[in-house]
């Protein structure tokens, strides 16, 4: 797909810039403490696309650089955005110079060796206490892994989030947190009945790993404890467990026993 067509594709499938900016604010538990600890700190956004993250971070006082290879994606008047190879640019960043390095919906376009290179070079470039954010489609969501992920012909393969968490640990990051994102908020109501459609389509459609580089005195680590200890989003297991509990309640009713058994057997086949 050529660059101009991909820009049209992005606008059509990803959504308007205002929507993406609103979604990015979900990371504020992480970036607000960093903005306070590192006023005027540097941010590098790999594969910055239309620049929504750059524009948002600039409002919090960060000095931002974004790199994208597609000249049709970025606003040409924005001097913070460069056209080029983001993975090569990361290699040239001075050691321990960045407060945040981010890659939103980039790694699913990369072969495994370049994902490892991204994480390795990000670790070198981050300041102590700084964070790496990697966001991607969540393949725990059955509709994503079976359909919407493949709408983008430049996607190489789905990536399990456990792999990114493991790679960040192997490259030396102090800790990481998995964030499940963009699910329907009504699904969090405890008294909400979970349907089979919820199990199939309701899991958080996006997912991220936030990895923090260690620091000797750890003041910023303490500031971010709340963010790292918080739960985010809904996993497939979360919804399956809630659905199972509903089935068990039906199962207790003798009159509903045959139906409950059929429903439980169907669910087991779906999630195998």
* pLDDT, position 225: 93
Do 247 and 229 belong together in one domain?
Answer: no
Do 164 and 241 belong together in one domain?
Answer: no
Of 67-71, 122-126, 217-221, the least confident: 217-221
Do 177 and 89 belong together in one domain?
Answer: yes
- For the cut 90, the answer to whether the pLDDT of residue 58 exceeds it is yes
Do 226 and 142 belong together in one domain?
Answer: yes
Do 247 and 149 belong together in one domain?
Answer: no
Do 42 and 160 belong together in one domain?
Answer: yes
In Å, how far are 26, 62, 207, 233 from 271, measured between CA atoms? 29, 44, 19, 19
- For the cut 60, the answer to whether the pLDDT of residue 77 exceeds it is no
Its sign, for the CA torsion 64, 67, 71, 73, is: negative
Do 228 and 239 belong together in one domain?
Answer: no
Do 163 and 240 belong together in one domain?
Answer: no
What does pLDDT average to over the chain? 91
Do 189 and 78 belong together in one domain?
Answer: yes
Do 77 and 209 belong together in one domain?
Answer: yes
Task: Retrieve residue 203's tokens.
Answer: 């899991």
Residue 203 · residue 175 · CB < 8 Å: no
Confidence of residue 3 (pLDDT cuts 50, 70, 90): confident
**Region for 152 from its dihedrals, namely left if φ exceeds 0, alpha if ψ lies in -120 to 50, beta otherwise:** beta
Confidence of residue 257 (pLDDT cuts 50, 70, 90): low
Confidence of residue 87 (pLDDT cuts 50, 70, 90): very high
Q: Cα separation of 118 and 120, whole Å? A: 6
Question: Model-level pTM?
Answer: 0.90
Do 191 and 263 belong together in one domain?
Answer: no
**Region for 254 from its dihedrals, namely left if φ exceeds 0, alpha if ψ lies in -120 to 50, beta otherwise:** alpha
What is the CATH classification number for the domain harbouring 81? 3.40.50.150
Residue 210 · residue 30 · CB < 8 Å: yes
Q: Cα separation of 192 and 202, whole Å? A: 13
Do 190 and 61 belong together in one domain?
Answer: yes
* pLDDT, position 248: 81
> Residue 72's domain spans which residues?
3-234
- Bigger pLDDT: 5 vs 46: 46
Q: How many domains is the chain partitioned into structurally?
A: 2
- For the cut 80, the answer to whether the pLDDT of residue 6 exceeds it is yes
């Amino acid at each position: 797909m050529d660059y101009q067509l991909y820009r049209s594709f992005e606008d059509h499938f990803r959504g308007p810039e205002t929507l993406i900016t609103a979604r990015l604010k979900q990371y504020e538990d992480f970036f607000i403490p960093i903005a306070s600890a590192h006023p005027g700190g540097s941010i590098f956004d790999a594969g910055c696309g239309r620049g929504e993250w750059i524009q948002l971070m600039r409002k919090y006082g960060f000095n931002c650089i974004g790199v994208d290879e597609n000249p049709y994606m970025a606003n040409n008047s924005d001097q913070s955005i460069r056209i080029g190879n983001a993975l090569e640019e990361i290699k040239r960043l001075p050691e321990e110079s960045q407060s945040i390095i981010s890659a939103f919906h980039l790694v699913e376009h990369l072969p495994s060796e370049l994902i490892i290179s991204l994480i390795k070079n990000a670790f070198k470039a981050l300041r102590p206490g700084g964070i790496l954010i990697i966001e991607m489609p969540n393949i725990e969501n059955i509709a994503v892994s079976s359909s919407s992920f493949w709408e983008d012909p430049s996607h190489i393969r789905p990536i399990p989030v456990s792999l990114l968490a493991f790679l960040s640990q192997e490259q030396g990051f102090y800790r990481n947190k998995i964030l499940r994102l963009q699910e329907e908020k009504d699904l969090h109501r405890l008294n909400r009945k979970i349907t089979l459609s919820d199990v199939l389509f309701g899991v958080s459609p996006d997912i991220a790993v936030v990895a923090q580089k260690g620091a000797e005195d750890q003041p910023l680590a303490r500031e971010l404890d709340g963010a790292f200890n918080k739960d985010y989003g809904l996993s497939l297991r979360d919804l399956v467990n809630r659905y199972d509990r509903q089935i068990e309640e039906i199962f207790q009713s003798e009159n509903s026993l045959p139906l409950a058994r059929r429903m439980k057997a169907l669910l087991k086949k779906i999630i195998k």
